[in-house]
Amino acid sequence: MKKILLSLLISFCAIFTAQSVNLDSLYKCLDKEINSSSIYVTEHENKISTLKKMLEEVEDGKEKYNISFKIFKEYKSFINDSALTYIEKCIDYADKINRKDLSDNCKSLLAFQCSTAGMYTESLDILRSINKRNLKKEDLGNYYIAFNHVYGELSYYTQLNHLRAFYADKANAYRDSVFYTVDPSSEDYLLKKETQLVNENRLEEALKVNDERLKKVTYGTHEYAIVSYYRSQIFRSMNQLDSVKCWLALSAISDIRNSVMDHASLWNLADLLNKDGDLDRSYKYIKLSWNETTVFNARVRSWLASPILSMIDNKYQTSIKERNEKLRTFVIVISVLSVLLLIGVFYVNHQRKKLSMARNQMKIINNQLKELNDELSTVNDNLDKSNHDLSVVNEKLSHSNSRLNESNRVKEEYIGRFLSLCSIYIDKLDGFRKQVNKKMKNNEMEQLFQLTKSLDFREKELTELYSNFDDAFLHLFPNFVEEFNALLKEDSKITLTDVNILTTELRIFALIRLGIDDSSKIADFLHYSVNTIYNYRARVKNNANGNREDFERRVRSIGLTFEK
């Protein structure tokens, strides 16, 4: 699980750098891997131990060759001396089984390993001892790559200009042989092509080749570390230092994960951080790089890292010395502050004793005040009780006044309406009298009979009466319909077709709201039977939203406070 999470982390970092280099995140990833480096080394050593046990148990020469070759590959970037030992064993096993092709191919690999460790003379001697006619076509690449590498190293590190040019020509010639021999899509071909383009300062083309190489490797592998390192060198040539640091960090993370002791990424990154002034992290990285280089035991690597280690170590020691000076100053300041603090403690202790005496006197006074407060509390309790009783009486009186005010208002409203209706009905009766008198005077008895026979007059007057009642009631209780519906279930709410005309149910409960709750009186007013009124009341209460027995009391409370 840890490896999977780390792979995802490295993948995220690599993708992120394509948009914006977040170096702090990468350094944190790298620091975390450095802390776990001993775990990776132990795992690698266990893997090698398993292979060695297998080597001891097999008897077949070809099988011994195969296992020894696997051990060589594990040691190749781990411990140089052991890698040389096991590749030489491979040569011995190949000779014993009469496989000259395998033996000479291993010599090519041995020569490459020697040149990697700075053993250039040994590398050339080994390569010159190889009869390349014995090599298979697919192994010729290793032979030419070894020659290219040793001459490239000699060209880079020699101090003599004429030899530098000579070695460079040799390296280029063997590089061309590599191009001619290996598959153009292989890592060996692409690496040499990328190196050639960088040397020719064709950096954009080199970066495209590196893109191809990057697609072929998996994040977190040793191969990924190699490609990342070469990518950093392209960006170094482009003078894009943030990208250089980014890819060096990614390369170093992969190297540590794979227990690679022969790496250049970490000490290169340490050198850049040293130039940026990040001494702590730089010292940490170069120290780990130096320790691992010592384990790998390659002279050229130690020679390369030694000046950087010395420079960083000198700066770090200077930094430590400066910090110690600051620390010494801080100790002196803290000592002075401690003396002052001690004086302060004595002073505070003296004041505390005086304060203790004052507190004792205060305690006596507080006890006396407490007794007085208890007496005052008793008086206050009695006063509170009296105030509470008075409040209850006031509340009841206020409630009675409210009800009385409401009742008076309703009475005034309806008395006014009643007097107005009486006057109107007197006028109507007088008009009806005159109409009857006229018809009798004119002997229009048939018309008089039809006039008195029709019920239209009664229905018209009832309609006008109810309209007057509805208008007066809604004037007194404008929100009655909404508040009444709020007392009903959602599916039983009453909707008016005309907002000024109440339904029969609403008129019944409007009369109840006015204090008329006798069904017989309600029936007389609405010209219904008592049983019909009872059924209306029961049906509405059955649809009440809550306790139906409490429904009419809640109706009587509608609009208890109203505008004056």
Mean pLDDT across 534-552: 88
Determine which of 11-25, 330-344, 416-430 has the lowest per-residue pLDDT on average. 11-25
Mean pLDDT across 72-87: 91
Q: How far is CA 21 from CA 229, 351, 447, in A?
A: 16, 61, 110
The model's pTM: 0.54
pLDDT above 80 (res 89)? yes
Mean pLDDT across 380-384: 72
Mean pLDDT across the chain: 82
**120: closest CA among 300, 295, 260, 263?**
300
CB neighbours of 468 closer than 8 A, spacing ≥ 6? 417, 421
Mean pLDDT across 529-534: 92
So what's the pLDDT on residue 563? Answer: 41
In tens, the pLDDT along 185-194 reads: 999 999 999 9
Higher pLDDT, 354 or 294: 354
So what's the pLDDT on residue 202? Answer: 95
Higher pLDDT, 198 or 159: 198
What are the tokens at 520?
């017989």
Residue 460 contacts residue 467 (beta carbons within 8 Å): no
C-alpha 160/C-alpha 163 separation (Å) is 5
Provide the 8-state DSSP code for 386.
Answer: H
In tens, the pLDDT along 440-495 reads: 788 878 777 766 766 677 788 888 888 888 888 888 889 888 998 888 888 888 88
Residue 245 contacts residue 23 (beta carbons within 8 Å): yes
Query: For residue 456, how far is the Cα from the chain centroid?
Result: 80
Query: For residue 143, how far is the Cα from the chain centroid?
Result: 54
Mean pLDDT across 286-303: 68
Q: How confident is the model at residue 298 (pLDDT cuts 50, 70, 90)?
A: low
Q: How confident is the model at residue 413 (pLDDT cuts 50, 70, 90)?
A: low
So what's the pLDDT on residue 384? Answer: 73
The SS3 of residue 239 is coil
Axis crossing angle, helix 120-128 with helix 100-116, rounded to the nearest 10? 160
Q: How confident is the model at residue 377 (pLDDT cuts 50, 70, 90)?
A: confident
Write the DSSP string, 489-510.
-GGG----SSTTS--HHHHHHH
Higher pLDDT, 478 or 289: 478
So what's the pLDDT on residue 418? Answer: 58
What are the tokens at 289?
């790089």
**Number of residues assigned to the chain:** 564
Higher pLDDT, 420 or 134: 134
Mean pLDDT across 520-536: 91
C-alpha 181/C-alpha 178 separation (Å) is 5
The Cα diameter of the chain in Å comes to 160
Mean pLDDT across 125-152: 92
